Amino acid sequence: MGFELTKEQGMIQKMAREFARKELVPMAAERDQKHEYPAQSLEKMGELGLLGMLVPESYGGEDMDTVSYALAMSETAYACASTAVIMSVHDSICCGSLLRFGTEEQKQKYLVPMAQGEFIASFALSEPEAGSDPAGMTTTAVKQGDHYILNGTKRWITGGATSKLFVVLARTDPDAGHKGISAFLVTREMEGFATGRLEDKMGQCASDTTDLMFNNCKVPADHLLGKEGEGFKVAMSGLDDGRIGIAALSVGLGQAALDAGVEYAKQREQFGRPIAENQGLRWMIADMATDVEAARLLVLNAAAAKDRGEKCSKEASMAKLYASEMANRVAGQAVQIHGGYGYTKEFPVERYYRDARVLTIYEGTSQIQKIVIANEVLGDKKKKKKK
């Protein structure tokens, strides 16, 4: 790898790798087939500090850099993409939102136990008619005395059936566009809160996905996250971390698919020799390996830019776009190398292929990433012309 890691980053990667290979790999296929939430593994991840990596030590976290987080995410995803996506939402978006916008009281009550893995949090932005366009959301929050009353439905919520805390975006001013959106900390016990049925998904089946339904849900006013009207800002502030996280997840899954393809090609014999000796297949593997490495470097580049305190929206979107598309290409090629066996659940590449498909959709579709990248590039050109 052409990116020099510090000694500490290498140690974190090694720790995450050893844990994931020992704890997650043996259970991944069974959890996928049974749609079984990885509760015990997440508890152990909390004990190792993997669920509060980006949170300062003063709030119970590990105070790690983004590069370390990306490395740990890739190792987790190599073993189980379902567990990795839960980690991504909890670590980067939920912990990050509380860290940036929470009051001291909110941080002590929620962020500290979150960072220590005592419970998992989820992020609720998407709606039945508002996915890539958050400004189109219809969930409302009306203040009544010392509470806000929430009404509406959130869709595609990772951890909807299992998480204990939700960062929920709702419209407090219907006439103010994206400036009329506010963020709330909602717990499962709040009156008027309910979850919908579990989605029967193509992949990442060990992470539950449900609707959240708010029917005159009473949320205490002190559970407003940030100020009224800052919800869109809350949502956007976590995007770079979230996209780097999903990009790193994609790299881990792509590497797992590549390794599985290489191992099978060396063992499988046709016409009296291993299929790895066939030039056509060797070129496939060369392309796959190059694809994975290019994605890895884009991810580390974005993470390093974030750690330097630089604006990295373009780099994060480039990493997310390329890595998520890469994971789909490489997983597809791994299935192809396995031939008919790759189409069965006997080999893990079938799961990798299903798990990869959603990577180009959640945390901003590939098309949304291209809009972000183009806006950044064209904006830079305009600035240069003005000079």
CA-angle at 71, arms to 70 and 74, nearest 5°: 85
Contact 17, 187 (CB under 8 A): no
330: left (phi over 0), alpha (psi -120 to 50) or beta: alpha
How far apart, in whole angstroms, are the C-alpha atoms of residue 338 and residue 359? 22
Q: What does DSSP assign to residue 4?
A: P
Question: What DSSP letter does each residue of 126-146 carry, written as one string?
Answer: -BTTBSS-GGG---EEEEETT
- DSSP β-ladder status, 181-187 and 165-171: antiparallel
Q: Which residues are catalytic?
A: 363
Strands (E), 93-180: 121-124, 140-144, 147-158, 165-171
How far apart, in whole angstroms, are the C-alpha atoms of residue 227 and residue 213? 23
Q: Which of 33, 35, 62 is nearest to 47 (CA)?
A: 62
